Amino acid sequence: MTGSTVMALRVIPVMIRFDEVTKVYSGNPRPALNAVTLEILKGEFVFLVGASGSGKSSFLRLVLKEEKPSAGQIHVLGQRLGTLSSRKVPYFRRNIGVVFQDFRLLPQKNVFDNVAFSLQVIGKSKGFIQEAVPDVLKMVGLVGKQQRLPHELSGGEQQRVAIARAIVNKPAVLLADEPTGNLDPSTSAGIMTLLERINAGGTTVIMATHDAGIVDQMQRRVIELSAGNILRDERRGGYQTQAVPIQAIGVEDLSLRGADE
Ligand SMILES: Nc1ncnc2c1ncn2[C@@H]1O[C@H](COP(=O)(O)OP(=O)(O)OP(=O)(O)O)[C@@H](O)[C@H]1O
């Protein structure tokens, strides 16, 4: 077998697989996700787009096993989540970093301790923490700010701390739920450069966003959800969503659409 044949046969591992996944919340008859089937491969950078209420956060929560699907199977990092006992969920989550729009830092802890805390809770040694935290703070561009409290930082710097905390344990997957939602365009661009760098290091990144400019500029895989359905899944796409916010569609509108189709 030649070297090129070996290259051709190399299979990229699947990090996340949804098979016909439906999520219905109690008290809400409309599915947040409706028979969604997809695969996300190691090293991909994926934008999840769609109108408010289309199911983006539900997708991310299902990946983390914060929610259970009402039907269908979810595999993350080779594990079938349906058979993962609740005892094993904290270990499973060590492989997944998460970043939110509102940063969610511990307000009384400084930058170093915010990042160190996530390693302390999983039992890492003091020596490991003393090395790993400065390394990751350097990576995210926060050298010299270790002693600051969150309120002494700009929004962009707070998000860098949150990203440092999410990646310090070198997760295979990074989930980001509107990470630039509270930031101005130039600060957002800096955060995206950082997320690209993390992705280039091999981490699979999945980012829910309403930021059309970022999606258009990066031209990465785009999965568009509409009322819990996959409307579009493009290898290299832009934002270009035509979706109407769910709240803006009245019952009459829905029945009219049904009649037209
Ligand atoms: N805990 C819950 N209980 C009941 N319904 C919920 C719950 N969480 C979400 N939903 C509903 O599920 C649907 C999808 O919500 P989801 O938060 O996943 O959308 P989203 O695309 O992330 O929206 P946004 O862009 O506003 O964050 C919506 O109709 C929402 O009202």
* Mutate-to-test residue for ligand 1 from 18, 49, 52, highest number of ligand atoms within 8 A of CB: 52
Whole-number mean pLDDT of the chain?
91
pLDDT tens for 34-46 read 999 999 999 999 9
pTM of the model: 0.90
* Mutate-to-test residue for ligand 1 from 23, 25, 209, 230, highest number of ligand atoms within 8 A of CB: 25
Number of H helices, E strands in the chain: 9, 10
Ligand 1 atom closest to 57 (CA): 22
Look at residue 6 in the predicted model and tell me its pLDDT: 56
Pocket of ligand 1 (CB under 6 A): 25, 27-28, 32, 50, 52-58, 246
How large is the average pLDDT for residues 89-97? 96
Are the C-beta atoms of 110 and 144 separated by less than 8 Å?
A: no
Query: Is ipTM beyond 0.95?
Result: yes
* Distance from C-alpha of 156 to C-alpha of 195, rounded to nearest angstrom: 13
* Distance from C-alpha of 54 to C-alpha of 67, rounded to nearest angstrom: 16
pLDDT tens for 3-26 read 555 556 678 999 999 999 999 999
Q: Whose CA is nearest to atom 5 of ligand 1?
A: 25
Q: Whose CA is nearest to atom 2 of ligand 1?
A: 25
